Structure 1
Amino acid sequence: MMEDIGQKGFTLIELMVAMAISGMLMAVVAMAYTGQSRSNNTVQDVSSLQQDMRSALQLMAREIRMAGYNPKSAGAKIELATATDLRFTEDIDNDGTIGSGEDIRYAINSNGALGRETGGGGGLQAVAENIDQLAYEYLLDDATWTQTPADLTKIRAVKIMILGHSDRETAGVVDTSTFTPPLQTIVPPAVAPAPPDWTPADPGGYHWRMMSLIVQCRNLQIKS
């Protein structure tokens, strides 16, 4: 006599419930992955931007610091100093003349990038992308700051301020911040003018950062 064995397995309803739960779990995992990936991209973008901005400031500071280096009376000096444009000369090779590579200018070029020009011509060649704003302030020999020095021989230090954005946009990000360079101290103490307030004209989905640096031009204090 055959024994009656009950059928075992899942009903259609149970399978549908299991599939629904699996689908929800997969959606949660996908959302978590997307969020983590977006977060990683943001960290990478901001880190890359900050590194590019630091590199640009270091390059500018290294050359501006030597402005007016004039060991053989070559006439090295600050040639132009405005709120957004700086040109200077330096006799780095000690040959008594200002070569084309010793006449340096920094400003934002026509493509909106931080540009560097040498030789008093040839155009501003980009040295850093995604830097939208550049401003200068100048410390004079009477311990006052200005963006429009009337006598360039009185400049003793330069404050560089730059505003930049990430290389790519992030969905859902709209940065409407106003960026104001921090007040920095320098010896001798001096009160700096109100720094510029920068609000990106078209923030898009970019991440924005601002950096500033004060460079003491020690050679400008030396009489040739």
Structure 2
Amino acid sequence: MRHNLCSGKLVINKRPSRDNDFQFQRAGASGFTLVELLLAVVLAGIVTAGIYSLYRSQQKSYAAQEELSQLQAKMRTALYFLERDISMAGCDPTGQANAGIVFAMDNSIRMTMDRDADGDATEYDEDITYSLYNSSGVIKLGRKTPATATNQPVAEYIDALDFVYLGPDGSPLATPVSDPKKIKSVQITIVGRTARADPGYRDTHVYKNQQGDVILGPMNDGYRRMLLSTEVLCRNLALK
């Protein structure tokens, strides 16, 4: 406020205060409408749902990859034991143990070997049988010896175990092999699956051995499966 004494008169000039300016501006300003608020809520919900969906998708992908990694590890372990023992079948340093393949079927095998060179093949880990067995609804690859008397699990969730026995000329021998001494090599094929099913997956694959024979499938379920196959030379039998 300013005093003006011109012509002997008191003149008062009053400026609008800043508070008045602010009040004036607020009164003239426009706010959000109800439609705009609802639209903002809807957009926020869509963004949140998208982020959650992406998170769930990544989580499922990670879980599937983790299960496949575990499956691959147990399959390799199973194949390692099979290769190791079958390659030793017929080991008989003294020539007195009569070691070799005892019986050879398309889904099981029994073999003997004289590991300690004492002239027999009756000790622990010298008489070995591989086959599949059911334990509480879970199919497992079992390894049985005279010491254990029952199957010991090598790997679980194994859906197929297949053996093809090749003779001296490399041709497959009919199973069960009537004369196991003719076996010179063994083709091994195993199929394993994940422990849990994936609701968004369907296994329509057909699994075959190295001869092209179907050994499993299609299963048409939600389990992911893996096939591993190899051929093992029975070097001790080849010498006989």
- For Structure 1 versus Structure 2, the TM-score category normalised by the shorter chain is 0.7 to 0.9
TM-score (norm 2): 0.82
Report if the CA contact (8 A) 1:109-1:125 is conserved.
no
| AA of the residue aligned to 1:160 | I
Name which of 5, 23, 40 aligns with 2:45. Answer: 23
Alignment match, 1:196: 214
Superposition deviation, residue 194 in structure 1: 4.2
**Kept in 1: contact 2:206–2:214 (CA 8 A):** no
Which residue of structure 2 lines up, in the alignment, with residue 187 of structure 1?
none
**In 2, Cα distance between equivalents of 1:10 and 1:121:** 79
Q: Letter of the aligned partner of 1:69 in structure 2? A: C
Q: Say whether 1:170 aligns with 2:203.
A: no
Q: Which residue does the alignment assign to 1:217? A: 234
- Per the alignment, in what secondary structure is the counterpart of residue 115 of structure 1? strand
Equivalent position amino acid for 2:99 in 1? A
RMSD: 1.9
Task: Show the counterpart of 1:5.
Answer: 25
Change (3 A) 1:8 1:93: farther
Q: Distance in 2 between matches of 1:55 and 1:8?
A: 72
Taking only the aligned residue pairs, the percentage that are identical comes to 35
- Give the alignment of 1:65-76 within 5 angstroms: 65-73=87-95, 74-76=97-99
CA deviation string 1:19-48 (max 9, x = no partner): 111110011111111111111111111121
**SS of 2:199 mapped into structure 1:** coil
> Is 1:205 aligned with 2:233?
no
Q: Select between 64-73 and 11-20 the one with higher mean Cα deviation.
A: 11-20
Q: 1:24 to 1:50 in 2, by over 3 A?
A: same
| Paired residues for 1:90-101 under 5 Å | 90-98=113-121, 99-101=123-125
Runs of at least 5 residues in structure 1 that lack an aligned partner in the other structure? 184-192
AA of the residue aligned to 1:58 = Y
Map 1:116-155 onto structure 2 (within 5 A).
116-119=143-146, 122-148=149-175, 149-155=177-183
One-letter identity of the residue aligned with 1:128: A
TM-superposed deviation, 1:204: 3.0
Could you tell me how far 1:15 is from its partner in structure 2? 2.2
Distance 1:109 1:200, change over 3 A: farther
Q: Is the 8 A contact 2:106 2:162 kept in 1?
A: yes
The secondary structure found in structure 1 opposite 2:25 is: coil
| Residues 194/205 of structure 1: CA separation in 2 closer, same or farther (3 Å cut) | closer
Deviation by residue 1:81-140 (Cα, 9 ceiling, x = unmatched): 011110001111222221132100101013321111002871222110010111110011
Q: Contact 1:114 / 1:132 at 8 angstroms: preserved in 2?
A: no
User: Which deviates more, 3-12 or 30-39?
Assistant: 3-12
> 1:55-103: per-residue Cα shift (whole Å, max 9, x none)?
1001110111010000012221111101111000111122222113210
Distance 1:96 1:119, change over 3 A: same
Show the counterpart of 1:81: 104
Q: Does structure 2 conserve the Cα–Cα contact (< 8 Å) formed by 1:179 and 1:198?
A: yes
The alignment covers a number of residue pairs equal to 212
- 2:54 corresponds to 1:32: yes
Paired residues of 2:160 and 2:215 also in contact (CA < 8 A): no
Q: Corresponding residue for 2:129?
A: 105
